[in-house]
Amino acid sequence: MWFIQPKRDYVAEMPWKHTDEPVIMTWQIRTRDYNTFIANIMFLIIVCIAIAGALAMYFFNEHFMSSLLLGGGMFMFLLLIGMSMTHQTTIIVYRLTDKRIEVFSWKPQVDSVKPVMKWTAIISGIGVLFLVFVNPDFIIAAIGPVGIGIMAALMGNSKDYQSMARNQMEDDVAWRDAQNIYAYSKRSIIGLNLFWDHPETGKEMKNFVKAIFIPKAKYDDVLSYLKKNLPDTPVIEGKFDVYHV
């Protein structure tokens, strides 16, 4: 999940295409590259659904321990599903040269969801097994660990699912062609207003704004470099719509 992803330096590992161009700056960032306000509202709704589901599992079971396990398991399961939809992060790696910004990005959630689900199934399965020895009626509680284990196995063995979930993309941004520069310091994002050919329709988008996500420590350096090399390009301060493509 987004909160247990290990720190790692990816810059040297990327298959950069334009290594003949001297590098000006490189950086990487893990970010939620979308409208986080709407995602947070959706997450609150999912939390309410998870609480309702957990209470339903708790009150509609006669045995206290099994209802507690089922209710808690249902809440955690729905909460993790919700967070996987609304709190997805993307790792984005950038290489800035005098001509372009090369970009590699992917969502690492699939790499961490499987082990979390696997260990959740193992630990909860051991707990259920212990309860079954106390009272065989608790066998119904095994539905949760078994279901989570099956899902983890299917996720790990499906290459198509992993490719889709990782959403791997690469891009080549001709930053010198920017018509406008948008500077959103609150989220450390710079937007470049470029002419862009849509990969599906082939139509040129004249008002497309390419979002460049930058760590706070490097935000001023990148913005200053772009301003210096694009002195005639208007710089618009403030929030702008983020579409990471």
Q: What is the pLDDT of residue 37?
A: 73
What confidence score (pLDDT) does residue 152 get?
Answer: 54
Give the per-residue pLDDT at 185.
Answer: 92
User: Which parts of the chain sit beneath pLDDT 50?
Assistant: 1-3, 157-158, 160-165, 244-245
Query: Among candidates 144, 142, 152, which has minimal Cα distance to 77?
Result: 144
**pLDDT value of position 120:** 62
Which residue type, as a one-letter code, is found at position 146?
Answer: V
pLDDT score at 25: 96
Per-residue pLDDT at 244: 44
55-114 pLDDT, tens digit each: 776 676 666 666 666 667 667 777 776 676 677 778 999 999 999 999 999 887 666 556
Residue 30 to residues 1, 108, 216: CA-CA distances in angstroms? 13, 10, 12
pLDDT the model gives residue 217:
94
For residue 212, how many other CB atoms are within 10 A of its CB? 26
Closest CA to 18 of 73, 78, 111, 100: 100
pTM of the model: 0.64
pLDDT of residue 139: 56
Model pLDDT, residue 2 = 45
Q: Determine if residue 188 is left, alpha or beta; phi over 0 gives left, psi from -120 to 50 gives alpha, anything else beta.
A: left
Per-residue pLDDT, 192: 94
Q: What is the pLDDT of residue 50?
A: 75
In DSSP terms, 18 is beta-bridged to: none
pLDDT in the model for residue 170: 84
